[in-house]
Chain A
Amino acid sequence: GAVVSQHPSRVICKSGTSVKIECRSLDFQATTMFWYRQFPKQSLMLMATSNEGSKATYEQGVEKDKFLINHASLTLSTLTVTSAHPEDSSFYICSARGPGSLAYEQYFGPGTRLTVT
């Protein structure tokens, strides 16, 4: 149980375009989802926290107008990188907080590698 999927696993886009990454909790309802960014050989940095039906809360230094997060249902959150530039190239990982007694634990998607050319 507690499976999180991400789509796509890899995406290449041209500079100036937008790209959307989907994160789904497959077998549980995730009231809270998190988006992380990981540069090569570095740790995961929390970008934002989203609660179903509410606006996302962004970490300091994360541009909310560039990284649009929508958590429209209990099983789906999306991250849209708008007007992408090469410096946005990174590995993006979503995570969902478990329900009820599992609420202290986060389950991770497999990640999306974004390359902006």
Chain B
Amino acid sequence: AQTVTQSQPEMSVQEAETVTLSCTYDTSESDYYLFWYKQPPSRQMILVIRQEAYKQQNATENRFSVNFQKAAKSFSLKISDSQLGDAAMYFCAYTTPLVFGKGTRLSVIA
């Protein structure tokens, strides 16, 4: 079975600084998708970024980018120029049906 591991239960970052959230996964598949979701206090799941495994280029979405290392099965999320609104739970997830990691709670310090 596929598993997703997020080893950082909590992280904090100063406003305007950069933070990286870690994620590793285990799979025997060669083609799959990886996602980062944000869950603010409202608990609505918001897609932050997705990566297709067959694409070597790392995905980017504005201030969010990933470092996808397929051989290492690593998929980290980098948030640049952190903003107060970035404070939330962040979940790494593997393909569909989505399997989620345990999440990382990100705090942004003004």
Q: List A residues at the B interface (Cβ < 8 Å).
A: 34, 38, 42-44, 46, 49, 91, 93, 95, 97, 103-106, 108, 110-111
Binds A, one of B19-27, B41-49, B59-67, B70-78: B41-49
A38 to chain B, nearest CB (A): 8
B72-103: CB near A (< 8 Å → 1, else 0) gives 00000000000000000001000111111111
Q: Check if A43 sits within 8 Å of B102, measured CB to CB.
A: yes
Q: Check if A49 sits within 8 Å of B97, measured CB to CB.
A: yes
Q: List B residues at the A interface (Cβ < 8 Å).
A: 33, 42-45, 47, 50, 52, 91, 95-103
Residues of chain B within 8 A (CB-CB) of A105 are 33, 47, 50, 96
Q: A46-B98, A104-B96, A106-B96 are in contact. List 9 more A-B contacts (CB 8 A).
A: A34-B98, A42-B103, A43-B101, A43-B103, A44-B98, A97-B96, A110-B42, A111-B43, A111-B44
By beta carbon, the residue of chain A nearest B103 is A43
Residues of chain B within 8 A (CB-CB) of A46 are 97-99
Task: Select B95's contact among A44, A49, A104, beta carbons within 8 Å.
Answer: A104
Q: Check if A91 sits within 8 Å of B97, measured CB to CB.
A: no
Q: Check if B103 sits within 8 Å of A108, measured CB to CB.
A: no
Residues of chain A within 8 A (CB-CB) of B50 are 105
Q: Check if A108 sits within 8 Å of B102, measured CB to CB.
A: no
Residues of chain B within 8 A (CB-CB) of A111 are 43-44
Q: List 24 A-B contacts (CB under 8 A).
A: A34-B98, A38-B43, A42-B102, A43-B100, A43-B102, A44-B45, A44-B91, A44-B100, A46-B98, A46-B99, A49-B97, A95-B45, A95-B98, A97-B96, A104-B33, A104-B52, A104-B96, A105-B33, A105-B50, A105-B96, A106-B98, A108-B44, A108-B45, A111-B43
